Structure formats: C-alpha cells, structure tokens
Amino acid sequence: MCDRTVRFGVLCDMLDAISKARNVSVKRKHLRTFFDQVYTDREYYSAVRLMLPGLDKERPAYGLKEAVLARCLCDALAISKDSTDARRLVNWKRGSNIFNGSAGNFPLVAHDVLSRRLSSSPGDLTIRDVNAFLDRFAMGETRDDKASILSLLVKRTSAQEMTWIIRIILKDLKLGISEKTVFHELHPDAERLMNVTCDLKLVCESLKDRNKRIRSRDVTPGMPLRPQLASRVRDVDEAWKKFGGRRIIAECKFDGDRIQIHKIGNKVHFFSRSVIDHKEYTEGMSWVICKHVKVEKCILDGEMMVWNKVTNRFADFGSNQAAARSAKDGLETDQHLCYVAFDILYAGEETLIDQPLHERQKVLQQVVEPLKGYLEVLLPGGDAALDEKQPPWSIFVNSVEEVNKFFLQNVENREEGILLKDLESKWDAGDRSEKWLKLKPDYVHAESDLDALIIGCFIGSGRQGGEISQFLLGLAEKPKSGGLPTRFFSFCRVGTGLSDNERHDLVCKLKPYLKRNERNARPPDCYILTNIGKERPDFWVEQPDKSVIVEVTSDIRSIRSLYFTTPYSLRFPRIRRVRYDKPWYDCLDVSTLQQIMQSRDGG
Ligand code: ATP
C-alpha cells in the first residue's frame, strides 16, 4: 500500500486512536502499526507531514487562523452567515455551555457543525489526494480561493476526516505525544537525522527500513541544524562534579539571539533557534561574514548581539531588530549588529560536529578573522588569570575556585550567567545533555529568573482600567517521559515589567484563546488552583498550548505559597521578557522549582 492507495480515513482512525489513548505506550503502538502494516511501500513522507504539520517546510504557510478558517468553512458549507451554526463557528472561542464544552477549541466546534452535514462513513480520498488539496489550499490567495477548495473537500470527506484536515491546517493535532515519539516509531535514527537537516522529507526518504541504521550524516551548508542546548545546574559544585575532572572551558552567557550562520559563497543565511532564516540581518551582517570568514562554505554557531560604539559594550537584550532596521535603512547610529561566534560546525568541505570542541575551536580561529564590535570569536584565553574589572569572555578552568571566580565576575558585570563546556565534546544537534552546562545567578542566589506559562489574565484598574494588565502564571507538572505536560499549577500573579507596546502585543497574541471566567465556573481541567477565590483571573487562557512563556524575575526571597498551588511563589515578581521563542511545554516544572528554591534556601 502507498499514499496513492491508502485512504485518508485510515490515517484519521489512527490519529483518533492516538488522541484517545491515555497511555504513551498505547499511542506508540498505534503509530508503529500504522508504519509497519499500512504503509507497505514505506514512502512515509506523505503521511508523516500530515502527522507533524509544524515540521512540514515544503508546503507554503496556509496564512490563516481560526477566524478566517471559520468564514471559509461557512462559505464551503453554504451556511448563511446569520445562522446559528455560522455564529458558532465564527464565535468559536466564546461561551462554553452553549457549545457542549467545545468552545475555545475550533476543531471541536467545527466537528459539531460538520457532523450534522457530512456523512459519517469514510470518504474516498487517499493520503496523496489530501496532500494535493492542502497544496492547493495553501496556494489559494483569497478567502474565496480557499473556500472553494474546502467546498471540494467537504464533498469527499466524513465529518471526522474533515475535522482532522482542520487540525492539520491549524498545525495542532493534540495527539498528546511529542515529535520525538513519532520519530522514534518511524526509525531509530529519524530524530538524529532531523536534528542535522531539519528536512522532514529527506528524513522519511532516507530511513525506510527500521533495521538499517545510518551511522552519521554530513552536515550541509544551507540546511539548518537544530541547536545544541545547555542543561542547567544549581551551583558551581554541582557543575564541577558533573564534569568529573574532564577539561572544560567557561564562557560568558551572552544575552542575544542564538543564530546559526550558513555561508555559501556570497550567500549568507541567519537561522534562528526555530530554524527561520532571519533575512533582516542580511544588510547589517552579510558583508562582515563574506569578508571575514576565510572559506567558501561555513556554518558558525553563535549569538547575534548589538554593539554600542559609545559605551564599548554590548547593548541590552532586545536591540537586535532596531539595529537590523537601521542597517537596512542605511542609518548611522551608535549601535550595530555584532555576531559572537562560539562554535563552528562546517568549514571548507568538512563536517566538524563530530570533532571535539578543542579541535573545532582551532578551526574557528583559522577560519574566522574577528572584527572588533562586528564579529567576535569566543576562544579561551589560555589561563585563568582574570582582569578584575572586565572578565574575559572565555577561559580554561582548572578548579571549582576558578569557575566560581569567573561566575562571580560575570554576575557582577551584569551578565546573564556562564556556560561550562566539555572540551572533548562533540556538537550534538538538538541535544540538551550535559556537555554544556549553564549557570545563572538566579539558580544560585540573588534574583530568580524563571520561565512560567501564562494561564490567566486580569483586567486592570486605574491607568489600565478595562484592559488586561496582569497575568496568572503557571508551572508544568513534570510530564512522563515522551509526553508533553498536561497540567499546570498556579504559581504567581504578575503585572509589571512590560512596556505598553509589549503588553499590547502579548495580549493580542493571547486574545483568541481567552475565555471569560464566569462566576462559579470551574477552571479548565488542565489548571490546578488551590485558592480559586483569591487567584481568580478574569480570563483563562483556555488552551495551554496556545499560550506564551514569560521569564519572570523577583525579589531575592521566595515565599512559601499561600494562595497559589506551587509550594513556592515569588515576591514582587516582574516580567523580564516574553519568550515567544520558547514552545509552551518548555516552561519550568514544579519539581525543578522546588529544587531551585530548596538549594537557594540552603535546604
Ligand atoms: P535561557 O532561557 O537560559 O536563555 P535557553 O533555554 O534559551 O536558555 P539554553 O540551551 O538553555 O537555551 O542555553 C543556551 C543558550 O544560551 C543558547 O541557545 C544561546 O542562545 C545562549 N548563549 C549565550 N552565550 C552562549 C555561549 N557562550 N555558548 C552557548 N550558548 C550561549
């Protein structure tokens, strides 16, 4: 069987079974059966791109969200815009009781409407047909174009199938499993290959036989790799112990944007952590890279920052876009983009990720010629003799004391923290193991700086009367391995730290998912609250997976929580920044908070 013959309904049955199963191992079993028994030709790509639509880079963006999709669906189903069903679709996020608890969940509201109009028996579309329809849907420029494609689809699908198509378009399948799980069932090397290519098609086409392992794969300039990440440690002693006597370096933790630079001749790409090519850096940075990187093809890993010529320091976090704009507009300002290269993954015609860090650093030194304030290269100075005022950016460290000294100097210098790296380690795409450890002041003492998820919003009074001015934050319950968090515990309430513009942007992003908290109504099941009376927000963010992470900082002391569900809360919390770059499930979990607080309180 292949994508030309496998009915889309078979995929939908499998997706239904996965989303209903509570146990991850049962979910895995459904996936495996599908791969082994349904797709006998092993051309998995056409199905996998529907299962992981967020990773499908081949199809252009659909360019619409629930609100427009609702209108397209009304047109496709020829529902009059004043009818109850049209209003239900358009107002999908409002009121819970009227819509059988499906409000706030567009696919469920749509299913409700579709099930009264479409057949319950499977349609005749194959997986290949659905992909072809989705291509046309993505290419459709106007709402009418899109509606006419939906009208063809609704004639050939059941309500269940059409609901899955809607979820695929919205790129949110709610299967309760991570992509890791899907990759694992596809092939033992799938995740690894995805990490170094970010190319779903290539992964599916190269890995058709689970029994045939691929050992390694060359890195290709132009194909972004998922970044190597750092694991956090509470204190210097813990970090030192973890490295167990291996040779390490300590580096300043720069507070900019992680950017992977791919140079191919005169063409330069700037891939962010979420593998988006940030073309806005081209004017300000391409010339520097072309002139100062001495090989034709190269991949650099580093942090995009902004250098202030007047203060001779890096500018504060958040200045990158303005500096990129000034460069684009040809404006002379005090601040300009500056790239700090801390690693090299490819040079000339050679893949370097499997070489130890100290070897990669040698290549980095040979290949990249620094340009003060524009292109900096992070290499260890060679000894731990530190300048008391300005610590170096990178040093070899030979003892706990040296790490501690470097760390304290960085904290005093108002840096974000430090990273410790094993000099023998390979560069592992997508890895957050313990080859890189990060140490931030908040984990140890001083301020806290924690990533929490917004779960509710409060209307303000005074200057911000009538507008959302405060947020209820939650922390995740640690998920079982392979799963995503499903419950969030209320943690603290925060109102300060954002500018009016930042608040406005944040509220706009959350608005489609806010549900008014009616009197005496229970909070959504995914939120666990201790004292509903005291911490009752005016709105819930109904779907945690649509919410946003904020980094909060607070007074040095944590407080035992009285009103909130987590055992600790924060004194005078303040939002340090909104983390649009972090997926919702990457927020702090309650047990890690407990460890941080206990170690800080000396307990
Ligand atoms: P955080 O929220 O603490 O910034 P994160 O979750 O964004 O961390 P981590 O992998 O935990 O990412 O921390 C590593 C990040 O630190 C990198 O993604 C990079 O953006 C940044 N960074 C700054 N300086 C360095 C450095 N010298 N080496 C590696 N990463 C660095």
402 & 455 share domain: no
Provide the ipTM: 0.95
Q: How many A from CA of 456 to the centre of ligand 1? A: 28
Whether 230 lines ligand 1, by a CB cut-off of 6 Å, is: yes
Whether 539 lines ligand 1, by a CB cut-off of 6 Å, is: no
461 & 436 share domain: no
575 & 459 share domain: yes
How far, in Å, CA of 580 to CA of 548, rounded? 6
Atom of ligand 1 nearest to the CA of 232: 11
Atom of ligand 1 nearest to the CA of 551: 2
Chosen domain end from 390, 407, 442: 442
Chosen domain end from 423, 442, 461: 442
How far, in Å, CA of 208 to CA of 455, rounded? 41
Q: How many A from CA of 194 to the centre of ligand 1? A: 21
Report if residue 144 sits inside a domain.
Answer: yes
Whether 227 lines ligand 1, by a CB cut-off of 6 Å, is: yes
Query: Which residues are marked as active site?
Result: 253
Atom of ligand 1 nearest to the CA of 432: 10
575 & 592 share domain: yes
How far, in Å, CA of 482 to CA of 178, rounded? 6
Whether 379 lines ligand 1, by a CB cut-off of 6 Å, is: no
User: What pLDDT digit, counting tens, does each position of 5-59 carry?
Assistant: 789 999 999 999 999 998 899 999 999 999 988 877 778 999 999 999 999 989 9
505 & 577 share domain: yes
pLDDT top residue among 573 and 102: 573
How far, in Å, CA of 57 to CA of 59, rounded? 6
479 & 578 share domain: yes
User: What pLDDT digit, counting tens, does each position of 240-276 carry?
Assistant: 999 988 999 999 999 899 999 999 999 999 999 888 9
524 & 455 share domain: yes
Q: Are 80 and 128 in contact (CB under 8 A)?
A: no
Number of domains in the chain: 3
User: What pLDDT digit, counting tens, does each position of 529-570 carry?
Assistant: 877 666 788 899 999 999 999 998 875 455 666 667 787 777
Mutate to test the pocket of ligand 1, among 303, 551, 596 (most ligand atoms within 8 A of CB): 303
Which structure tokens are listed for 75? 């047109």
576 & 554 share domain: yes
Whether 438 lines ligand 1, by a CB cut-off of 6 Å, is: yes
Atom of ligand 1 nearest to the CA of 393: 27
Whether 254 lines ligand 1, by a CB cut-off of 6 Å, is: yes
pTM of the model: 0.70
Report the CATH number that the domain containing residue 507 is assigned in CATH. 2.40.50.140
Whether 408 lines ligand 1, by a CB cut-off of 6 Å, is: no
Q: How many A from CA of 257 to the centre of ligand 1? A: 9
Query: How many angstroms separate the Cα of 2 from the Cα of each of 33, 203, 208?
Result: 15, 17, 13
Mutate to test the pocket of ligand 1, among 225, 251, 254, 378 (most ligand atoms within 8 A of CB): 254
Q: How many A from CA of 418 to the centre of ligand 1? A: 9
Distance, C-alpha 191 to centroid of its chain:
16
Q: Are 11 and 47 in contact (CB under 8 A)?
A: yes
Chosen domain end from 409, 427, 442: 442
The residue segments making up the domain with residue 574 are 447-600
432 & 459 share domain: no
How far, in Å, CA of 271 to CA of 255, rounded? 17
Q: Are 541 and 560 in contact (CB under 8 A)?
A: no
Cβ neighbours of 157 (radius 10 Å): 27
488 & 519 share domain: yes
Q: Are 479 and 486 in contact (CB under 8 A)?
A: yes
* Of 590, 459, 600, the residue nearest 530 (C-alpha): 590
User: What pLDDT digit, counting tens, does each position of 347-369 carry?
Assistant: 999 999 999 999 999 999 999 99
Say which residue the tokens 């619409």 belong to: 64
Whether 240 lines ligand 1, by a CB cut-off of 6 Å, is: no
26 & 149 share domain: yes
Report the CATH number that the domain containing residue 141 is assigned in CATH. 1.10.3260.10
